[in-house]
Every structure is written in structure tokens, then in C-alpha cells.
Amino acid sequence: KKLFEDSVVKREDLFISSKLWSGNHAPEDVPEGIDTTLEDLQLEYLDLFLIHAPVRTNKGAIRTAENYIPLDVPATWGAMEKLYDSGKARAIGVSNFSCKRMEDLLAIARVTPAVNQVESHPGWQQMKLRELCRSKGVHLSAYSPLGRPGSPAFTGPSFLSNPIVVSIAEKLQRSPAQVALRWGLQVGQSVLPKSINETRIKENFNIFDWSIPEDLMSKFSEIPQIKTLRAEFVVHPQGIYKTVEDFWDGEI
Ligand code: A2P
């Protein structure tokens, strides 16, 4: 707000996204979901508002797996479309939607979701989902485009030290992280790397004036595929997701 007031940056120079929380899926609760966000952020509109995940609880319930209730995506999406009509959300979309869920949503949507934001990186390439989204005019946006290195929630091998990624980085004289982000841009996704370190934030921006040549791009298909966010926390014997496969519609 201070930077707007001091004319350092204009609102239209920024692209601000937020997400509808799981307890606000009921159509009558969706407007409150965005209003609270707009109030918190002291903004008039969002550039993009996403359904956070195919996870729904009753309003105000703690988001634990045993509290999940069945989704009603057509009803929630209908309320999201009204936000779009009102101009409070200049674009609307979803996050963590499988191919199956995307197809179901596309079959009923009046406003095509602008975006599906999912985990995507060289170690989890999302080729099938990306192709589906591309063919329907939905932009795929990548969270965890670095595969969450160092996250205590994922203890598997980081693709950043995969020999293929390391050798491409050496050839191009870039870091493995830059190669991963650049791969993302070249396959047509936006990339949302998270860093709290100034040097790494700068490093992560420095991916626009060079490219990975075609012969090296083809090597990425040899990288083992491991999803880092399997979302075991959604599984509960009495909940609506009995296994992680249920949650991701087997696309894991
Ligand atoms: P840090 O915040 O200390 O920079 P993702 O975006 O895939 O979820 O990954 C986020 C993690 O990746 C953070 O822990 C972040 O740590 C780390 N990270 C961000 N940028 C880089 C980079 N260029 N090289 C290595 N690790 C990075």
C-alpha cells in the first residue's frame, strides 16, 4: 500500500493471485472468501483467484482429513464465475486438479478456468496434464518448480542433483535451479519459485535471456519422475480420500 501511495509501483504493474480456502466452497461462502482476502491485502481486485485444492470442509472446520466433505465443484465454480463477472477476480482457476477433475470441470464451466496451478518441474513433468490444459486453453502454472529442495516434507532425492540436470547446467554455465526454471518456461508453464534469499531470488529471475537448446531439452525425458507433494495428509480411513491415489485420481 505504501509503495502504491508513493508511486513506486502501480497496481496494474503487479499480478496478484490468491486462493479460495477449503472451508469456503459453499457457493454462498465464496464471496466472503475473496472479500476477506481483498480486505487483508487492502486491494480492490485480484488478478487471479484459484480454488486451492479439491478439498472441502464445513465452514470454519479445521482442515484435517477426517473433516473433509464431498466436493460440489459445479456449485463452487458457479460462484467463482460470479466473482469473475463482478470484476473482483480478473481471472479464475483451480489448483491441484488432476486431468479427470479438469475434464469434469471443463464439461460444465461457463467461464473456462484460466489456470491450473500444480506441482511441476523436471522431476514431475505433468506431460499429460499440460497437454490437456494446452488443448483446452488453460494455462498450467507450476508451484514448487524446484521440487522443494530441503523441505522436511519431502526427503526423496532432489532432481537438482540428477546427473542429467547437473551436466546441462554445467554445459550452459547456469545453476541446476536456473535450468529447471528455464525448462519450465520452455515447456510453456509459468514458474513460481519460492525463496527468502536475495541472491537466490536474483538467480531465479535470471532465466529470460538464454535458452536450453533442443538437443538438451530432449534429455529431460530421461529424468526419473517423483512427485514431492503426494499429500498423504488428505488420507483418512473414515475420510473421503482413503488413499493418495483417490485424491489424485490415480495420476501419481
Ligand atoms: P530459500 O528460501 O532458502 O532460498 P520450491 O519453489 O520448488 O517449492 O522450492 C523452495 C525451496 O527452494 C526453498 O527452500 C528455497 O530455499 C529453495 N531455493 C529457492 N531458490 C533456489 C535456488 N536458486 N537454488 C537452490 N535452492 C533454492
pLDDT tens-place string over residues 47-59: 999 999 999 999 9
Pick the residue whose CA is nearest to atom 21 on ligand 1.
200
C-beta of 230 in contact with ligand 1 (< 6 A): no
Strand partners, 123: none
pLDDT at position 211, please?
Answer: 98
177: nearest Cα among 155, 202, 153: 202
**CA distances to 17, 55, 57, 73 from 67, in Å:** 27, 10, 6, 18
Grid coordinates standing for 161?
542433483
Tell which atom from ligand 1 comes closest to the C-alpha of 197.
Answer: 4
Tell whether 52 is in a known binding site. Answer: yes
pLDDT at position 154, please?
Answer: 87
66 band by pLDDT with thresholds 50, 70 and 90: confident
pLDDT at position 152, please?
Answer: 87
Q: Rounded to an integer, what distance in angstroms lies between the CA atom of residue 141 and that of residue 136? A: 15
The string of pLDDT tens digits covering residues 138-179 is 999 999 999 999 888 888 899 999 999 999 999 999 999 999
Predicted TM-score of the model (pTM): 0.95
Ligand 1 centre to CA of 26 (Å) is 35
Q: Which CATH superfamily groups domain 2-146+188-208+225-247?
A: NADP-dependent oxidoreductase domain (3.20.20.100)
Q: Rounded to an integer, what distance in angstroms lies between the CA atom of residue 146 and that of residue 178? A: 9
**CA distances to 17, 59, 164, 237, 239 from 63, in Å:** 21, 10, 39, 16, 12
C-beta of 206 in contact with ligand 1 (< 6 A): no
Residue-range domain boundaries for the chain? 2-146+188-208+225-247
The string of pLDDT tens digits covering residues 107-140 is 999 999 999 999 999 999 999 999 999 999 999 9
Pocket test for ligand 1, best of 117, 195, 203, 226 (most atoms within 8 A of CB): 195
